[in-house]
Structure 1
Amino acid sequence: MKKAKVAWITDTTSSLSREFIENNNIFVVPLNVLINQVSFKEMIDITDKEFYERMEKEEGTFQSSQPSVGDFVDLYKSLKSEYDFGIAIHASSKLTGTYQTSMMAAEIAEFKIFALDSQTGSYPLSFLIKKGIELLDSGLHEQELISKLKSYRDHTRLYLVPSNLNQLHKSGRVSGTQKMLADLFKIKPILSIENGEAKIKEKVRTEKRALAWLISQLQEENKQYKIRKAAVVHANNAEQALKVQQLITESIPGLETETLMLIPVAGVHTGVGTIGLSWVCEQN
């Protein structure tokens, strides 16, 4: 029996390397970032680093928007002649409409896809894609694959610590009074992506305590689950990311780490300098 040819579809919130994308039949539809209402396609018109550098230096509004239906329709029509079907894994549908747009476009283009709302983004999303490819190569059927990935999805962790509340205030997520009090008392909110939504998980005094909280969470879950890797995410804050990597190495010797630039779709809310930590809990 001829093996089906499968296309993998995702978006730029997946933070996958260009090499991995090219080697695994992955088609990445870019989200858009808007700087003072001028739109740029991620990874095509502007890099994550360039976006954060402009956010740091320029005044004005910084926003993000999902891909158009047409972007997806064009892709799915082009895939029909070469691939038997696609597997689409996108950023949380509660944070962006990209997943819904992708589903609509596949129907319009009449291209068969098996889809998963990752309910997350960044490193956990890249993990789900890599695990999905691994499961498909092992012979797992598409429906079983999606079901298996859902179980992994429920054990992903992504925590973010904004360097300040300026951008959260500009985007309307934090009031002027909340910002003033946080600045005055050096309060650091720790954001968590849970069930597809961004929530304030904890509030601590000073960034040092915030990082200690992240490391303690990782340590506790490392005792209960198998954690293969911890990913440090940052919004153009490489120096602080290196410090977090060192803290992980000191706390959990032997645990693999990597650093990733925080996806702009999150950075438009959390701002330049944000630092975060992410991992996936697997069964021992």
Structure 2
Amino acid sequence: MEAAEELPKTSQPAIGQFVELYEKLTADGSEVISIHLTGGMSGTVQTAESASKMVDGNITVIDSNFISYGLGFQVIKAAELAKKGASREDIITELDKIRLQTKLYVTIDTLENLVKGGRIGRGKALIGSLLHIKPIASLTDGVYTPEANVRSYSALVRHLTKQYVQAVKGKTVQAIGIAHADALELAEKLKKKRCLITHLKH
């Protein structure tokens, strides 16, 4: 991606693919909980919802309101509960709780990919690059929401850890996820922060 002139592009599955899969999964009478990345960044969940109405089976489509680990944690919890024999209603209730208790931050090292993706103009990216700006955003109600701009890795780590400490004060953390795309050094710095594990449920 770093060397590519054009970024790889993604597209949501066709509605027919959802219909085919839903028919296969419900053929034996099974219920389906279909969890997807936030509708604020993709039309996938809307397509899944439309497909579910074209199938006779019992299908519940859920907008996770997240991407990455924010989505993954919901999928894992749903699978764990289903394996234990939990009802569809109980699983949905638990997922609702997880969404309310999840906070997800996104940051990028360079603004160049935002230019390639058409998110910002080259002039704005040039200014940002000259100032060494590294934007930090969160997913709020499933929508990419800018939160801060920092100018170094150390400032980025300080900001994220500060936000984390404030968010979990007096709480027990069920899980933490750090995902990266060719930013292993930064991910390792965050992982080593003691405050990340202080409140983590063992």
Question: Structure 2 length as normaliser, TM-score?
Answer: 0.88
Higher strand share: 1
Q: Is 1:76 paired with 2:22?
A: yes
Q: Is 1:60 paired with 2:20?
A: no
Equivalent residue for 1:177? 123
What is the alpha-carbon distance in structure 2 between the residues aligned to residue 104 and residue 130 of structure 1? 24
Equivalent residue for 2:101? 155
The 3-state SS of whatever aligns with 2:69 is helix
Match of 1:197 among 133, 136, 143: 143
State the one-letter code of the partner of 2:195. S
For 1:93-112, list aligned pairs within 5 A.
93-112=39-58
Equivalent residue for 2:195? 251
What is the alpha-carbon distance in structure 2 between the residues aligned to residue 132 and residue 93 of structure 1? 19
Q: Give per-residue Cα distances to partners, 1:105-161, cap 9 Å, x unaligned.
A: 222232221221111011111111222234445554323431332122122111111
What is the alpha-carbon distance in structure 2 between the residues aligned to residue 105 and residue 237 of structure 1? 37
The 3-state SS of whatever aligns with 1:232 is coil
Equivalent residue for 1:122? 68
1:58 and 1:169, CA in 2 relative to 1: closer, same or farther beyond 3 A? closer
What is the alpha-carbon distance in structure 2 between the residues aligned to residue 160 and residue 138 of structure 1? 33
Task: Give the deviation of 1:187 after TM superposition.
Answer: 1.5
The 3-state SS of whatever aligns with 2:103 is strand
The 3-state SS of whatever aligns with 1:236 is coil
Gaps of 5+ in 2: none
Quote the RMSD (CA, aligned, Å): 2.2
Stretches of 4+ aligned residues off by more than 6 angstroms: none
Equivalent residue for 1:235? 181
The 3-state SS of whatever aligns with 1:234 is coil
Task: Give the deviation of 1:166 after TM superposition.
Answer: 0.7
Task: Give the deviation of 1:214 after TM superposition.
Answer: 0.6
What is the alpha-carbon distance in structure 1 between the residues aligned to residue 199 and residue 91 of structure 2? 27
State the one-letter code of the partner of 2:124. Q
Q: Give per-residue Cα distances to partners, 1:59-101, cap 9 Å, x unaligned.
A: 2242211111121111112123234210111111111111111
Q: Is 1:87 paired with 2:33?
A: yes
Work out whether residues 85 and 113 of structure 1, in 8 Å CA contact, stay in contact via their aligned partners in 2. yes
For 1:21-32, list aligned pairs within 5 A.
none
Give the number of the structure with larger relative contact order, counting CA–CA contacts within 8 Å between residues 6 or more apart: 1
Work out whether residues 93 and 117 of structure 1, in 8 Å CA contact, stay in contact via their aligned partners in 2. yes
1:171 and 1:214, CA in 2 relative to 1: closer, same or farther beyond 3 A? same
Q: What count of residue pairs does the alignment treat as equivalent? A: 201
Question: Structure 1 length as normaliser, TM-score?
Answer: 0.64
Work out whether residues 7 and 113 of structure 2, in 8 Å CA contact, stay in contact via their aligned partners in 1. no
Task: Give the deviation of 1:162 after TM superposition.
Answer: 0.5
Work out whether residues 29 and 57 of structure 2, in 8 Å CA contact, stay in contact via their aligned partners in 1. no
